[in-house]
Amino acid sequence: MGIAKNIVYILCAFLLILGLISLAGEVFYKISYKINRKRRKKLTPEEKEALRSKRREEFLKIATQHCALRNTMDRGLKVSDFTMDQMIEMYKEDTKEETIQMAVKHLGMTREEAIEKGFVHGSTQVSFEVERRRESKKLGREIDHKDLLDIYRERLANSEYPGPDCLEPWEAKEYIKNNKWPGEDKTAHIESCTGCHIMVDMEKPVVYPPPGPDCYTQAELDQVVETGSLSDGRLDHKNYCQQCKNKLSSSQQDFIQKMVPNQPYHPIDFDMDFGD
């Protein structure tokens, strides 16, 4: 009895200390953030821009490394067989090729035209051009990419979602959990509102069939988190099993996160608050 009590005390003390340490860290961070913000406020506009672009660059660097790791694993290759630079090079090559092929398919260009016009930076670039053409046709005049962004911005500002009848996320959760609306019946509303319809759909849990004998074991998934890869031949299973494909992808994501942590900044520092 006495020992159990002691263990509880020790555990409580331990948790208390842990809590205090993290609280102290948070307070310390906020104070240094405020001091830095004051310091940053005194910077000239050029210095501010330089700082911002440095931060953007760092962020881009991390994002590129993430994409390069993801690309290597999606190709079924072992991350340990390459250097980061090689993986980035491979990712850029793959992106380039994918973009060119998309431009050929969706923009009716020849391969040479696509390269010449610089369609090498990713599928978003092609989708954006498709949209630009569609909007130009609709408006009856040629618009450029900046105009398209302005149109998007305006639409977002004028969007009616969320309206007064729209669901709160917790209502969607409750509805899915109990198969019953917590307040008034919103069935008619979700049928007519795309935003709410999507929200309810997203709350629905994914139901998988029970795992088969070939399915990835927890030990295998742990191995992916640790090393980024599986034993030879085991990768193929994901092509036949959606459940394992998802699990594999999420373990790979954990591995990527471990290799290149993507939170170099505290969230409140992320937007570079200059106090202006």
> Is the Cβ of residue 55 or residue 245 nearer to Zn ion in the bound state?
245
> Which span (26-34, 43-51, 96-104, 159-167) binds Zn ion, by CB under 5 A?
159-167
Amino acid at 27: V
Rounded CA-CA distance 48/55 in Å is: 11
Position 260 contacts Zn ion (CB under 5 A): no
As measured in angstroms, the least distance from the Cβ of 159 to Zn ion is 11
> Is the Cβ of residue 125 or residue 243 nearer to Zn ion in the bound state?
243
> Which span (52-60, 105-113, 190-198, 256-264) binds Zn ion, by CB under 5 A?
190-198
> Is the Cβ of residue 68 or residue 248 nearer to Zn ion in the bound state?
248
**Binding residue for Zn ion (CB under 5 A) from 73, 126, 148, 244?**
244
In the numeric block, the tokens 């608050």 are attached to: 273
As measured in angstroms, the least distance from the Cβ of 165 to Zn ion is 6
> Is the Cβ of residue 29 or residue 208 nearer to Zn ion in the bound state?
208
In the numeric block, the tokens 């092929």 are attached to: 101
Yes or no: say if 272 and 57 are a contact pair by the CB < 8 Å rule. Answer: no
Yes or no: say if 173 and 203 are a contact pair by the CB < 8 Å rule. Answer: yes
Yes or no: say if 217 and 182 are a contact pair by the CB < 8 Å rule. Answer: no
3-state secondary structure 184-252: CCCHHHHHHCHHHHHHHHHHCCCCCCCCCCCCCCHHHHHHHHHHCCCCCCHHHHHHCCHHHHHHHHHHH
> Is the Cβ of residue 193 or residue 230 nearer to Zn ion in the bound state?
193
At residue 259, φ and ψ (nearest 5 deg) are -70, -45
Position 196 contacts Zn ion (CB under 5 A): yes
**Binding residue for Zn ion (CB under 5 A) from 69, 88, 200, 241?**
241
> Is the Cβ of residue 133 or residue 234 nearer to Zn ion in the bound state?
234
As measured in angstroms, the least distance from the Cβ of 256 to Zn ion is 22
Position 193 contacts Zn ion (CB under 5 A): yes
**Binding residue for Zn ion (CB under 5 A) from 176, 215, 235, 272?**
215
In the numeric block, the tokens 């900046």 are attached to: 146
Q: How many CA atoms lie less than 13 Å away from 225 in the CB half-sphere? A: 11
Question: With 0-12 CB in 10 A as exposed, 13-18 as middle and 19+ as buried, what is 218?
Answer: exposed
Give the total of residues touching Zn ion (CB under 5 A). 6
As measured in angstroms, the least distance from the Cβ of 217 to Zn ion is 10
> Which span (6-14, 125-133, 137-145, 208-216) binds Zn ion, by CB under 5 A?
208-216
**Binding residue for Zn ion (CB under 5 A) from 90, 166, 176, 235?**
166
> Is the Cβ of residue 29 or residue 161 nearer to Zn ion in the bound state?
161
Yes or no: say if 126 and 97 are a contact pair by the CB < 8 Å rule. Answer: no
| Sites of contact with Zn ion (CB under 5 A) | 166, 193, 196, 215, 241, 244
